[in-house]
Amino acid sequence: MTCPKIQKDIVIACKIETIKGIIKELNGDYFSLLVDESFDVSCNEQMTVVLRYVDRRGFVMERLLDIVHVKNTSVLSLKEAIVNLFSQHSFSLSYVCGQCYDGASNMQGDINGLKMLIKKESRSVYSIHYFAHQLQLTFVGVSKRCLQVGELVHLVSNIFNILAASYKRMDDYREYQKKNQEAFYMGELKTGRGLHQEVCISRVCDTRWGSHFKSFNCFILKFGTIMDILDNIVETAHFMDERSRATGYIRIAQTCEVAFMLHLMKEVLGITNNLSTCLQNKEQDIVNAMLLVKVAKRRLQELRENEKWDLFVVEVSAFCIKYNIVVPNFDEPYVDSGRSRRKSVDYTVFHHYRVELFCKIIDWQLQELNDCFDEVTTKLLYGVACLNSIDSFSSFDIQKIMRMTELYPDDFDELSMCALENHLANYIIDVCT
């Protein structure tokens, strides 16, 4: 029993028996496909295939079918691995009624993504956004298409790393925060419940949920304290490398563009943070989730309007004045300090901040929300929510269910659609009485 070869044989035998049990439970019925890819400990690419189906007792089951090693992460390789796995167990893509992946481009691509290749095999294999996936990571990834956002994430991450690298610097950070007590006595700060509490440094990390929003918010709230500590590093650090890095961080952070991007990302991620957090609840109400999607879209659209823009500029300008940051004249020609002067742009500072940064990032967020929750997805989710038995089927709506069934023309023809509408009317009366 301690022999590695025997142990491996036992594991394989358990795997075979488990797959047999899954096939028996399926009984040739429809199922949904959940796929994720990652690297194992030996850095080989592997793909996890999970089946989601309703068993004979009516319970929704999720079962791991297999973990398949693939040659690479190309879409064709992933689809080939899935087809080969299905053929081994006499499955067919025609029995797949839904698919769910993370936000990777090779999975969710609308042209050559895995979901589109599988949908070509069956037109009713719709893909639903993975609710438990950190939607905030998707929004940050989309925003990183903008060079300034990528630079901001890199800057905040490096500054927090240099502050958290030493216990002495963390003590200095807490010591600087005690200066709030003097501000209270001087009447510069208002007192109240929840005001001016100690804000811990939250590092930016793509795998830590919601960390970007917390990090940007912390950076804004404690900007003065962070600059003081960096200035102290410039004066007292033993190594020239640390002093030069701290000098560069101070020079970059104390610019209007960084202040503008900090407040913009705080606003955008603050709007979508509530949606992202709620989607991760294990017992999420679908109707409530779709309502939050609508709210997020509306708030992003409102943020794009001129009135919100004016208030936003006032907030950023006040922040810059508070910390002696130079505010550029919006009517002057824009000069990108990070590019060669031979490649100058022909637009004003106002156009750069309003169009190239503000509107573009908000539009990308709206587009990502529309892609994750498009019209087809909305109809499906609302239709499924109508079948919820809570409160004696209080959310039951025949019209929404009928609109959902219209998305499955291979399963419901005109005759069966008429019969279904009558069956639903009889069903709800029977259940309620």
pLDDT of 109 > 80? The answer is no
Q: Determine the 3-state secondary structure of 253 from DSSP.
A: helix
Q: 138-171 pLDDT, tens per residue? A: 677 777 778 888 888 889 888 888 877 676 666 6
Q: What is the mean pLDDT of residues 333-359?
A: 80
The H or E element spanning position 61 is strand 60-69
- How many alpha carbons lie under 13 Å from residue 376 in its C-beta half-sphere? 13
What's the mean pLDDT in 292-312?
90
Q: Helix and strand tally (H, E) in the chain?
A: 20, 5
Query: Does residue 401 carry a pLDDT above 60?
Result: yes
Mean pLDDT of the chain: 82
Backbone angles phi, psi at 333, to 5 degrees: -65, 140
Q: Is the pLDDT of residue 263 over 90?
A: yes
pTM: 0.76
Query: How deeply is 219 buried, as exposed, middle or buried, from its count of CB atoms within 10 A (0-12, 13-18, 19+)?
Result: buried
| pLDDT on residue 315 | 94
Residues linked to residue 156 through DSSP beta bridges, in sequence order = none
- The alpha helices in 178-283, defined as continuous H runs, are 180-186, 211-221, 223-236, 240-253, 256-279
Give the tokens for residue 363. 């539009």
Give the whole-number percent of the chain exceeding pLDDT 70. 84
- Which ranges of 109-146 would DSSP assign to H, the alpha helix? 114-121, 135-143
* 174 pLDDT more than 80: no
Domains of the chain: 4-127 (3.30.420), 136-372 (no CATH), 375-432 (no CATH)
Is the model more confident about 415 or about 372?
Answer: 415
Mean pLDDT of 273-287: 76
DSSP strand pairing (126-127 vs 96-100): parallel
pLDDT reported for residue 173: 63
HSE, side-chain direction, 13 A CA sphere, residue 159: 31
Contact criterion met (CB below 8 Å) for 246 and 220 = no
Spatial separation of the C-alpha atoms in residues 151 and 142, rounded to whole Å: 14
Please, where are the H alpha helices in 337-410?
A: 349-351, 360-372, 375-385, 390-393, 398-405
The dihedral region occupied by 365, where left means phi > 0, alpha psi between -120 and 50, and beta the remainder, is alpha
Which residues have CB under 8 Å from 340's CB, separation 6+?
A: none
Q: Alpha-carbon distance 116 to 108, whole Å?
A: 8
